[in-house]
Chain A
Amino acid sequence: MKILVCISHVPDTTAKINFSPDHKEFVQQGVTFIINPYDEIALARAIELTDGGKGTVTVINVGDVSTEPTIRKALAIGATDAIRVNAIPRDGFFVAKQIAQVAKQNGYDFILCGRESSDHNGSSVPSMIAELISAPSISSSKKLDINGNEATLEREIEGGKEIVTVSFPFVAGASEGMAEPKIPNMRGIMGARTKPLAVVEAIEVPQLSKIVSYDKPASRSAVKMLSAEDAGKLWEMIREEKKVI
């Protein structure tokens, strides 16, 4: 089994998000970067599926040299090798084009991504890669089992789930439940230093979108406190003041 796992290099989930005074740039200073949490789930499942010499797990990241510690962490967790496409990711389409290019050249049985990245939250990359390599896609899957050249997945839908089957190759976005993220052990960390990390140059991609600026949500007005005795008055109060119920 030959699996490609796409990983994003994103701010730690506890990071405070700040922008430059002109609102155009995300301020990286003082921010710790991690493997996107959903990608860690995908990686963990890929490692479980290939455990005991049943295949290889290649991780791929589109980023500049600053993402290499994140890639090395994926190798420490247990990926076989890694590819870094040397470019600053512009948007989801740019990233998907780069990964699809590598996938076409190398040929994988299937590709796993996280359901979404915690920075841009687009959930678009897995489906775009699939479209570019003419394969089926499962946007958000909570379970993945392999039987020969076929996979059974549990796909999230609004208010429920679907059990789907698909033959190789396919692209799936991993969601909570597919696997428990793995913590690298000391042997993994030592071994990661010598595992292959190939750097490939990016292909040209037409620019279809451009980030203009960022903003933070408006802060709420001061909280209105009620005593536990007055709890019963809450609904009428919300109806009067906010008109949402």
Chain B
Amino acid sequence: MSVLVYVENTEGKFKKSTFELVSFAYAVAQKSGSKVTAVSIGNVGDDELGKLGNYGAAIILNVKNEKLKTVNVQPYASVIAEAAKAEGAKVVVMPASFSGKGMAARVAVKLEAGLGENVVEIPDTANGFVIKKGAYSGKAFAFVDLTSEVKVISVVANSFKVIESKTDASIQAFDPALDENDFRLAVKETVRATDKISLPDAELVVSGGRGMKGPENWGMIEELANVLGAATACSKPVSDAGWRPHSEHVGQTGIAISPNLYVAVGISGAIQHLAGVSSSKVIVVINKDAEAPFFKAADYGIVGDAFEVVPKLIEAAKTFRAGHH
């Protein structure tokens, strides 16, 4: 089962989540003794592309085209599907990012492939091709057998480790014909908060709830996040009240995250919030109400006033970071 992996770049660079994805693709390919082909679209230098060989990519298809400079789901999906056909790929691995999921769905239709979204583990190929994916907004997992000949899967960031597997990677130009009809959508402006860590693929997240009492008190949440190297998040009541932007809302109707560490300050832990954060590896809850339901879903709990506890955590984090860097 030869495996094609789409390697997403951010302004010409690959993030850790891309190396995870290549490692994942390599683990899938190894099950059948086949190889991994990566397809990169956009302006990525050969040095950066060469890094993919460290994680098992044997062939790197480099698609450089003036028309594909910015991410555009429709033509990108066409290119990925063409690459899959050219390589005879049986499995196409995509990132479960906003645009990655959009492309995965379109690629699946183009290839008449079964689609497994939000995959969190290496597929079980003992009997079919069974993927494990999140379902019911974090309250469950579903195991789905992709019964088609070609399979497309999107993989959740931070659900698989980066594993080094040195391969002699060859970089090849790939230049499929583009369809004019794929370019009806135009990107006018891209706004990226470059000074902040992106929430969906953050490894550490510090989140605040109504217990923070008001937007003016977010300085300490941001400072703690900053010292730890974490992204900031919030609960639904906080974004509904306009204290924080909707893009920071984690929970059932917000973003579902699976960081290594989730620190919740002043969040009581409604079922909808828990659904979005339950796949965090370690959960710390700080709440002044000892009865807050979130403590039952936490690994560590501190009962106390956020305004007293968080400054202590910031000081301790400074010492901790100074000692372990």
Q: Which of A126, A137, A142, A237 has the most CB of B within 10 A?
A: A137
Chain A residues near B35 (CB, 8 Å)?
A: none
Cβ of A231 and Cβ of B316 under 8 Å apart? Answer: yes
A93–B260 CA distance with the chains assembled, in angstroms: 33
Cβ of A245 and Cβ of B228 under 8 Å apart? Answer: yes
Is A118 among interface residues, defined by CB-CB distance under 8 A? yes
Within 8 A of A (CB), among B286-302: 286, 295-302
Cβ of B140 and Cβ of A139 under 8 Å apart? Answer: no
Q: Digitize B106-120: 1 where CB-to-A-CB distance is under 8 Å, 0 elsewhere.
A: 101110111111100
Is A186 among interface residues, defined by CB-CB distance under 8 A? no
A25 to chain B, nearest CB (A): 12
Cβ of B316 and Cβ of A13 under 8 Å apart? Answer: no
Q: Which of the four size classes fits the interface of chain A?
A: 35 or more
A245–B261 CA distance with the chains assembled, in angstroms: 8
Cβ of A225 and Cβ of B320 under 8 Å apart? Answer: no
A211 to chain B, nearest CB (A): 5
Is A132 among interface residues, defined by CB-CB distance under 8 A? yes
A140–B308 CA distance with the chains assembled, in angstroms: 38
A166–B74 CA distance with the chains assembled, in angstroms: 12
Q: Digitize B299-311: 1 where CB-to-A-CB distance is under 8 Å, 0 elsewhere.
A: 1111111001100
Q: Digitize B30-68: 1 where CB-to-A-CB distance is under 8 Å, 0 elsewhere.
A: 000000000000000000000000000000000000000
Q: Digitize A219-233: 1 where CB-to-B-CB distance is under 8 Å, 0 elsewhere.
A: 011011111100111
From B73, B191, B286, B312, A137 is in contact (CB under 8 Å) with: B73
Interface residues of B, count at CB 8 A: 103
Cβ of A156 and Cβ of B106 under 8 Å apart? Answer: no
Cβ of B118 and Cβ of A122 under 8 Å apart? Answer: yes
Cβ of A38 and Cβ of B272 under 8 Å apart? Answer: no
A36 to chain B, nearest CB (A): 10
- Name A127's closest neighbour in chain B (CB-CB): B105
* Of A1-9, A47-55, A69-77, A170-178, the one touching chain B: A170-178
- Name A124's closest neighbour in chain B (CB-CB): B105
B300 to chain A, nearest CB (A): 5
Q: A122-B117, A164-B187, A209-B144 are in contact. Are A234 and B278 (CB under 8 A)?
A: no
Is A32 among interface residues, defined by CB-CB distance under 8 A? no
Q: A131-B105, A160-B192, A224-B300 are in contact. Are A124 and B115 (CB under 8 A)?
A: yes
Chain A residues near B324 (CB, 8 Å)?
A: 239, 245
